[in-house]
Amino acid sequence: MEYIIGILLLISFVGFRWYGGSDPVTLDKIRQIPGMRSIVSAVYDVKPGEVWPEESIKHLVDECREHGLIFDVVESIPVAEECSVVMALHPDDPPYPIFGLPRVITCEENLDRYLSIVDSPANSLCLCTGSLGSSPKNDIPAMVRKYSSMNRIGFMHIRNVKILPDTSFEESGHLTQNGSLDMNAIVKALVETGFDGYFRPDHGRMIWGETGKPGYGLYDRALGTAYINGLIKANGGVIE
């Protein structure tokens, strides 16, 4: 009998830096990433003090991040399979560029591409409804139903966000009426597709005079957990 001994959460929104000729070992390793050879070779020819306009290198930055993620997945998933570990990738939060930093995992197209890199149950998603739901382009209930049906969700972050008129957003309470996401439709999709993985309410506001780490209020997360459990039971699910 085989057991999954753990879920390892991967965060896609990592930082990056440009490497120069003084990093020969690192550059040699980067060269091993498919598609990166010409980019790395070009870096060696950069003159001290040379400035590259952002618009001329943006596509390179995007490609660097995507190739880096591909390299990580190709190398790590076989090891995860050997150790009976499921790797669950968290999408970029928020799903659009901040301070010029590019994003790689922001929508259904990105998720499909990511899962196709290594088609294995060990290569799964941490589907965060708040992160993906911050973009009005993403149909969260449909995405949950799709990837849960494929058995490719290892971990669910179930929270609500309120999308503002200027397309920015703010974190809200978990109830459907508090934000822009249909939380009942999301949980219903999980129940109807037989999802039996892990979930959490993820974030919480600071309420009732609580102090602590911003975004992780204990009381609000407790209320969120109770609400999600209620939605599970209301949709015919079982809480163990």
Domain edges within the chain: 66-234
Query: What's the confidence (pLDDT) of residue 166?
Result: 85
Q: Is 174 a catalytic residue?
A: no
Q: Is 96 a catalytic residue?
A: no
Its CATH architecture, for the domain 66-234, is Alpha-Beta Barrel (3.20)
Query: What's the confidence (pLDDT) of residue 73?
Result: 78
What integer is the mean pLDDT of 223-240?
Answer: 94
pLDDT of 41 over the 50 cut: no
Instruction: Give the pTM.
Output: 0.76
Annotated catalytic residue: which of 64, 147, 203, 220? Answer: 203
pLDDT of 197 over the 70 cut: yes
Side chain identity at 138, as an amino acid letter? N
Query: What's the confidence (pLDDT) of residue 96?
Result: 82
Higher pLDDT, 104 or 72: 104
pLDDT of 66 over the 80 cut: no
Annotated catalytic residue: which of 128, 147, 220, 227? Answer: 128
Higher pLDDT, 203 or 15: 203
Annotated catalytic residue: which of 126, 147, 157, 174? Answer: 157
* Residues ≥6 apart with Cβ < 8 Å to 138: 95, 107, 108, 132
φ, ψ at 9 (rounded to 5°) = -85, 125
What integer is the mean pLDDT of 186-214?
Answer: 92
Annotated catalytic residue: which of 64, 90, 92, 147? Answer: 90
What integer is the mean pLDDT of 46-53?
Answer: 56
Q: Is 3 a catalytic residue?
A: no
Q: Is 128 a catalytic residue?
A: yes
What integer is the mean pLDDT of 154-158?
Answer: 96
Annotated catalytic residue: which of 92, 93, 202, 220? Answer: 202
Query: In 3D, which of 26, 54, 32, 27 has the Cα closest to residue 42?
Result: 27
